[in-house]
Amino acid sequence: MELFELIQTLNRAHGPSGDEGEIREVIRALAEPYADEITADTMGSLIVHRRGKGPKLLLAAHMDSIGFVVTHIEKEGFLRVGRLGGVSPKEAAYTPVRFKSGLRGVFAPEEKADFGKLKLDECFLDIGAGDEAAAKQLVQVGDSAVYDAPAFRTGDLVVSPYLDDRISCAVLLSALERIGECPNDLYLVFTAQEEVGLRGARTAAWSIAPDYAVAVDVTDVDDTPGSERAGTARLGRGAAVKVMDSSVICHPAMVALLEDTAREGDIPVQRDIMRAGGTDAGAIHLTRTGVITGGISVPCRYIHTPAETASLSDADACVRLAAALAQRPLEQP
């Protein structure tokens, strides 16, 4: 399945932080033909194992997305919500949403709200219910909702909600298809609850105890008008090899290993430094006595909005780099 088709498939699955069951089963079905073993841990992360005799190599991409959770149902039938992860009310205003049940609605601000200082408690979900009783026939407190927008292409770019981090899940699934003989003991982990604190990566890494690890995620860019240089990557320049972000300073040996692998495979790469935000690498590199950890990043514009934008050629470079690393015989550290 080509990358864009994979992204479309993953985008249709429900999976905000803490409610990843649907996206987990979609990924399980896609990975199963290429895996020796697939398990889900207590936190809900999916662990895909390809057995090998070499060191343990963990490649992680988080499958959860940001979203909303219903906290109150008002007498007029409107819903008040809380955040699941880094939702910005201004960026989400007037966006269609969907629940796991298929129910749809729209996220809207109150008319009196100051849009420049918009707060979440000044917003609501409109699901078309006439009153509280009608709304309670459709939802209950604790139900979660996500952005409801399609993925589409424009030239080499893909625009979609939840490229963070469904595009990286697609990268790992595509890499898994390409991996032939596996010299390393390979674990592809699709982690849960990254958006609320790197939680799934922490427990999965503890149980696997990897020798090497790479977190695959999106990264901020420095290529749009008025850029404040929150990141160093640019769309169209290849896979971004992470040097650091606010959660991790990548191990120099892993940065060198990824860049050497890219050079040997004629894979376009650039360096990734992100001033704010983090990835699963932040939890993984601190596991047990420490893990040699790095990152492969997909440059992405408008992160955490309903219209995240990335380059399919960059994503393909990430696929090639992840597959090449997995097939490279690693030395026991």
Instruction: Say whether pLDDT at 66 is over 90.
Output: yes
Query: Could you tell me whether strands 95-99 and 56-62 are parallel, antiparallel, or unpaired per DSSP bridges?
Result: unpaired
* 237-292 residue pLDDT tens: 999 999 999 999 999 999 999 999 999 999 999 999 999 899 999 999 999 999 99
What six digits make up the tokens of 30? 């896609």
- Per-residue pLDDT band for 313 (boundaries 50, 70, 90) equals very high
If you compute the radius of gyration of the chain from its CA atoms, what whole number of angstroms results?
20
Q: Are 56 and 36 in contact (CB under 8 A)?
A: no
Domain layout of the chain by residue ranges: 3-65+161-326, 69-147
Please count the helices (runs of H) and the strands (runs of E) in the chain.
Answer: 9, 17
- Per-residue pLDDT band for 333 (boundaries 50, 70, 90) equals confident
Q: Note the pLDDT of residue 181.
A: 87
Q: At what angle do helices 312-326 and 3-11 cross, to 10 degrees?
A: 100
Mean pLDDT of the chain: 96
Q: At what angle do helices 21-31 and 163-178 cross, to 10 degrees?
A: 20
Residue with tokens 């009608």: 134
Distance set, CA 16 to CA 20, 29, 87, 106, 198 (Å)? 6, 19, 12, 17, 13
Q: Note the pLDDT of residue 1.
A: 79
* 99-148 residue pLDDT tens: 999 999 999 999 988 888 899 999 999 999 999 999 999 999 999 999 99
Q: List, in order, residues 6 or more apart from 114 with CB less than 8 Å away.
A: none
> CA angle, corner 319, sides to 314 and 324, nearest 5?
125
Residue 214: what residue type? V
CATH code at 3-65+161-326: 3.40.630.10
Mean pLDDT of 13-19: 97
Domain 3-65+161-326 matches domain 69-147 at the CATH topology level: no
CATH topology of domain 69-147: Elongation Factor Tu (Ef-tu); domain 3 (2.40.30)
What six digits make up the tokens of 27? 């990924």
pLDDT over 70, % of the chain: 100
Mean pLDDT of 14-30: 97
Distance set, CA 309 to CA 64, 158, 164 (Å)? 18, 6, 10
- Burial class from Cβ neighbours inside 10 Å (0-12, 13-18, 19+) for residue 178 reads middle
pLDDT over 90, % of the chain: 95
Q: Which sequence positions are flagged as catalytic?
A: 194
* 181-214 residue pLDDT tens: 899 999 999 999 999 999 999 999 999 999 999 9
Q: Note the pLDDT of residue 246.
A: 93
Mean pLDDT of 42-69: 97
- Per-residue pLDDT band for 227 (boundaries 50, 70, 90) equals confident
